[in-house]
Structure 1
Amino acid sequence: MRLEVVNEMLWINTLLPAERCARRACTLEGECCHPQCLGSCSSPSSDTSCAACVHYFHRGRCVADCPPGTFRFEGWRCISAELCSKVHLPDSNSFYIHDGECMTECPSGYMPKTLS
């Protein structure tokens, strides 16, 4: 650390936590959070201590992608197909799985699969 006096003010020449962590979140103590953490974390370098996730939340961890057998839901978490079939928003009574995502309606250009 280098101290210098500029215009009678004292400046400390050191890296701020945000610069040291290369755009990653930091703890209150200035330690770098896990790369999957967004905003802050309670413990450095742990994907289980994030205040929020950059990508998805699954079983207490922040993950870059939903693991096999799970589906993206509401843009921030991973859920099973069974849970996808049971969750309902107030204005919807069905969900669809398309391209790895659990959604309330079929995307444009797609039709629901019917049982015959």
Structure 2
Amino acid sequence: MTLSFTETRGAPEVGARLQGRLDTATAPALEEQVSRWLDGGARDLELDCRDLEYVSSAGLRVFLGAVKRLKPQGGRLVLVGTRGVVREVLDLAGFGALVELKEDGPCPAGS
């Protein structure tokens, strides 16, 4: 399986849509992209997860790494449209205390 991500708006409030599976095979690509966004001045990161089918511990590490870089500068990670198995994994891992989980809402601007 694959993961694709499409940037829908740029720094300082980056929005992106994730599609597919976020697992051991695909997490490194997202981690690299998140680093590029943060190195490029992103202070807030909003990820549309409506089309994310699965997230493994490797994917959770990417989210956690983003939070660790964003929080010291007053930034935040928002995950939009988490549902099904993705939401279950996030809830079981206690991510509601680390990131903002939006059930739904408008897609990140421009998508």
TM-score band by shorter chain is under 0.3
Q: TM-score, normalised by structure 1?
A: 0.22
Q: Which has the higher helix share?
A: 2
Q: Give the greater-gyration-radius structure (CA).
A: 1
Query: Which structure has the higher relative contact order (CA within 8 Å, separation 6+)?
Result: 2
